[in-house]
Structure 1
Amino acid sequence: MAQRGRSDWERQLAAQRREAERQTREAARQAKEQQKAQQSAHITQQQRLAETKTTAVLEDVKLLDQVLVGVLNQPPITFDDLKVKPRIPPFQPGKLGTPPPAPNWQDYAPVEPRGIDRWFGGMNKYRQDVETARARFAAATVAFQRDEAERTSALAAAQAEHRRQVEASQATAAAFNQDVEARRTRFAAGEPDAVEWFVNQVLKASRYPRGFPSRWQVAYRPENRDVVVEFELPNQQVVPAVREYRYVKTRDTVDPVGRPVTEIRQRYARLIARISLRTLHEIFRSTPSDVVEAVVFNGRVTTIDRATGKQARPHLISVEAERSAFDGLVLAEVDPANPFDLEAVEPFIAFDLKRFRFVDGAEELADLDSRRNLLKLSPTEFEHLVKDLFAAMGAEAWRTVPSKDGGVDAVAISKNLFFGGVCLIQAKRWTGLVGLEAVHALTGVMTDHNATTGVLVTTSWFSRTSEQFAQRNRITLINGAALKHLIKRYLGYDVIPGTSPPKR
């Protein structure tokens, strides 16, 4: 019996061990399946992330591809489109527009006693309560009438203010629309300011993808009936450097797949061509042929010159199109550009030079004796000398007429982009310190004339604040000592610049 009992007990223990082992295996299996499900869900999530990021890149590329074709079916901009409607604000009187209820005697009248309550002084008390209630009712009525008079007065003032706002808005809109009509008349007559204003409105209405610059300059030459546009292009970074995103399972990362450099350049070249064609299309579409017969598009980009590490603004494209030839293009089918590397180009028409009246240069160099003091030159002679110096340094330079030149003494245009385009030069034959005011004034002139850089030349010296300000604003300062060195190096003359600066 004892042997049989021990055997039953051992069988029970064995069964319990087997059940425990089974439960352990089942728990391990479930944990493994759960881990596998989590890993699968994580992989799916990472793959979806890669797909989402790839879709975003493809959308960006699609926007670039549609820069031209996306606007071909849009209607032209007209002068009527530029008119505005008066902004009529709704009249909202608030609480003033809702009169409160007048006092009601029933809310004040006491309850007349009945039956036995009329005796033992009940009626006397009732009559007293009536008198008290009448006094309260009269006071409430007076207060109501006073408040109502104030409310109606305030309401009338609010209505008058609203009418004033409506009339002011209508007058503003009418004045603006009248100005648009006046510009329409001058536009039809080919007046440059009206044509330039309207073309600016056409370009302003053109919506480009996010990240594109929104800067341009417009000039109109009535004698040629052509519009010249100086357009700021996006740089090459606007083309996504990533072609797609892939999930790498071995590293558990979503990695970008780079776009080949050749493809980036090809896409960027096509984009620049599309922008130029789009601008030509928008201007031709919105202007009549008797006003605009041709359009010149100069596209430039702000970038970093790899040779110098400095900012540069080269022209990448210059297109001149006549309306008759452009109208023959089927823009939806045009391949804007074959793959090519973009390089700096010279524009067909140098923008903004029409704003300067040029005169022939004078040969001051021929009369400049060795070691001659520059202070003895006349202002005109000194300005011509500076112009000739810049010409010897490799730039084309012209002397502007003394009057109405916005303080600009010379204009230099570099053929090799040494000066980055239009460079405004001021020459000051001074004997004392050139302070911050003179340098600051040059920045304003540069902005007015869309100049890339400025140069201030003097026979004296500059203050420290002037030098610091110039470094921040693309202005080169040439003091007397530097001018002496440049004349010696490029013109072969030795001169005396003028007074020496004091020790700092």
Structure 2
Amino acid sequence: MILCPPAGMHSLTRGGRQVGRDPVAQRPNRLSEYQRHQQALQRAQRQQEQQAERARKAAEAESKRREREEKVAYEQRQVELAQTRTIGVEHEAEQLRQLLRNALVEDAPASFERLRRMYTPTTLDKRPWSRPTSPPRWEEFAPPEPGKLSALLGLGKKRYDAEQAASQERFREAQERYQRAEEKRRTTLERKRAAHDMRELQAARATEEFNEALDQRRDEYRAGDPEAVEWFLGEILAASTYPPDFPRGHRIAFRPATGDVLIEIQLPLEEVVPLARSYKYIKSRDETTAVPRPEKERKEIYSSVLAQVALRTIHEVFSGDPDKLINGITLNGHVKTIDRATGHEVSPCLITLSVGREQFTTLRLSQVDPVHCLNRLNALVSPNPYDLEPVRPIIEFDLSKYRLMDSMDVVADLDSRPVLLKLSPTEFEHLIRQLFEAIGMEAWNTQASKDEGVDAVAVSKDPVFNGECIIQAKRYSKLVGVESVQALAGVVEHKRAAKGVLITTSWFGRASHEFARQHGRLQLIEGPELKYLIKEHLGKDVIPGPIPPKRRA
């Protein structure tokens, strides 16, 4: 019997003998291939991990490198910003040191010729309205004609005629719209042209009128008219260029009789001097700090600034005076600030000086030390301007702004028991001025025009109880209305006077007395009191005017 090998068994002949192949004997080979595959996968995974690690480290190194570069760039920018700020404060300090020299190298800030205006015609831009639009064309509306065959056979003629009529209607409407648009365009163009011509005419006329007024101002200036002189000097000071944070306030008063001008200017506070001398960037703290300017240096710069502004103002006025009307200048320099003790606004005077043209023009301002120059000019300068320690102005009150006029002796011409109503208004005003002089005050009469209701100005000679008094004289025979008292109150406030006195040959009503009492700085003098004062101080027995009616209790 022949035996067959089991399934899965293969016979091999080895040495004449047939040997079966055992499948278990082949399993180690298959496991080895699997292991080799797993090992290959593991190697590939390790390679990927290594590559990822290398990429991560490279990215981390690149990030650190960028951070270092950004940090270096940031620090460099901060250093440059600190240097820029240092240059800025150095420039500000240098500007303060060169205030006077900058004015010396420039022309006069203003002159009548430079103030003149030039009219320059402008051209109207007609482009939006100058070009007409294209008119409608029939070709754009005409319907297509029927073909030759249709025309021969007479087909579609009715429809073509209808389309032709509709197209003609649309063409007509388009022509009407075009005509309306063209008419509107031409009308608009004409209106724009007329408006432009009117503006040009007005601009030319305004320029001509301004120049004519300027020529009149120049003639008045040459004639020594106080208002014209004060206006022109104000234009000079207003045109002067200073650093942006400088105050520009000023007041000017001119006395034509002497050729003297009183100028009051507003000086800057110590804050104009930069607190920092430089700026420095500190890397360890990542901050920019200011290197403070020494206090001694700040005070020296501020004192120099005040001196330069004073000298510069005088220089600009003298050099800008083309006709040499100004013989002398009295300058008062004030600062405006808040009194920390009271919270009120104060204006202490820090510099005051008076100098003539001849004395000032001999100075070589480009070579002087401003502080020493003021000392040479006998200026009064605050010993501690940074502490706002004031000095007393050479001229305490701006009297020349009241248009003072020459005095007239009226008392000498008074007869026995004269009637004051028979005096002229000017004579009565001079009599009142002489009365205040006899009382012990310095007094001046004002010009008849542009006096703002001021007839005279008086100043007390008492060094303790000094004060400026505005006087109005009413040579009336009837009641003086309360509106006159109210007007005087307004002038007192405007002039910043210490007191206002309203004198009349007649009397005031109860409302006037009540208003003066509530105001506190007004005094009303009626006829009887005026009679007594003239008798007491001038030695004249006068008749002031009618007897006032009895007041009701």
With the shorter chain as reference, the TM-score category is 0.5 to 0.7
- Deviation, 1:233, is 0.7
- SS of corresponding position for 1:299: strand
Query: What amino acid is the match of 1:296?
Result: T
Query: 1:110 — aligned with what?
Result: 143
The answer on whether the counterparts of 2:308 and 2:370 sit within 8 Å (CA) in structure 1 is yes
User: 1:196 — aligned with what?
Assistant: 230
Identity, % of aligned positions = 29
Q: 1:286 to 1:461 in 2, by over 3 A?
A: closer
Matched, 1:133 2:179: no
Distance 2:344 2:464 in 1: 12
For 2:134 and 2:464, how far apart are their aligned partners in 1? 81
CA distance in 1, matches of 2:55, 2:149: 93
CA distance in 1, matches of 2:460, 2:278: 44
2:398 corresponds to 1:352: yes
Superposed displacement of residue 50, structure 1 = 2.3
| Shift, 1:478, TM fit | 7.6
Note closer, same or farther for the CA distance 1:256–1:440 as it changes in structure 2 (3 Å cut).
farther
Say which SS state the counterpart of residue 167 (structure 1) adopts: helix
For residue 333 of structure 1, give the secondary structure of its aligned residue in structure 2: coil
Unmatched 5+ residue regions in structure 1?
1-11, 360-382, 428-434, 467-475, 481-504
Q: Could you say which residue in structure 2 is the equivalent of 1:218?
A: 252
| Deviations 1:424-466 (CA, angstroms, capped at 9, x unpaired) | 6899xxxxxxx9x98998466433x3x3x76799987999xx8
| Counterpart check, 1:57 vs 2:89 | yes
Separation (CA, whole Å) in 1 of partners of 2:485 and 2:219: 41
Maintained 8 Å contact 2:253/2:263:
yes
Structure 2's unaligned 5+ residue stretches are 1-42, 376-382, 408-431, 473-481, 502-511, 524-553
Which letter does structure 1 place at the counterpart of 2:151? R
User: Following the alignment from structure 1 to structure 2, what is the Cα–Cα distance between the partners of residues 87 and 129?
Assistant: 59
Letter in 1 for 2:99: V
State the match for 1:281 in structure 2.
Answer: 315
Question: Is 1:68–1:277's contact at 8 Å kept on the other side of the alignment?
Answer: yes
Determine the structure 1 residue equivalent to 2:130. 97
Displacement, 1:311?
3.4
**Cα distance in 2 between the residues matched to 1:154 and 1:459:** 66
- Contact 1:228/1:351 (CA < 8 Å) preserved in 2? no
Cα RMSD between the aligned structures? 4.7
- Count of aligned positions: 415
Mapped partners of 1:35, 1:128: distance in 2 = 83
> CA shift at 1:273, angstroms?
1.2
Contact 2:444 2:458 in 1 (8 A): yes
Following superposition, the deviation at residue 197 of structure 1 comes to 1.3
Higher mean C-alpha displacement, 283-292 vs 400-409: 400-409
- For the 8 Å contact 2:397–2:468, the answer to whether it is kept is no
Residue of structure 1 in register with 2:194 after alignment: 160
Distance 1:40 1:166 in 2: 61
Alignment correspondent of 1:266: 300
- Which SS does the other structure have where 2:351 is aligned? strand
Aligned partner (choices 181, 186, 197) of residue 147 of structure 1? 181
| 1:252 shift after superposition | 3.5
**2:103 aligns to what?**
71
Verify the 8 A CA contact 2:457 2:469 in the aligned structure 1: yes
Instruction: Tell me: CA distance 1:136–1:414, structure 2 relative to 1, closer, same or farther (3 Å).
Output: farther
Deviations 1:140-198 (A, max 9, x none): 32332233223322322222122111111111111111100111111122221111111
Structure 1 residues 252 and 146 mapped into 2: Cα distance closer, same or farther (>3 Å)? Answer: closer
Cα 1:462–1:125 change in 2 (3 A) is same
Instruction: Indicate whether 1:171 and 2:205 are aligned.
Output: yes
Residues 246 and 254, structure 1, Cα contact 8 Å, conserved in 2: yes
Higher gyration radius (CA): 2
Q: Which moved more, 1:54-63 or 1:105-114?
A: 105-114
Q: Distance in 1 between matches of 2:71 and 2:134?
A: 71
| Alpha-carbon distance, 1:214 to partner | 1.4
Query: How far did 1:86 drift?
Result: 3.7
Number of the residue aligned with 1:298: 332
Matched to 1:111, the amino acid is P
Task: Work out the CA distance in 2 between the residues paired with 1:350 and 1:83.
Answer: 36
Q: d(CA) in 1 for partners of 2:55 and 2:65?
A: 15
Residue by residue over 1:313-371, the C-alpha shift from the partner in whole angstroms, topping out at 9 and shown as x without a partner, is 12211233333333333322221115964342333334521244699xxxxxxxxxxxx
Name the CA shift for 1:114/1:26 in 2 (closer, same or farther; >3 Å). Answer: closer
1:354-369 to structure 2, matched below 5 A, reads 354-356=400-402
Q: Is the 8 A contact 1:229 1:297 kept in 2?
A: yes
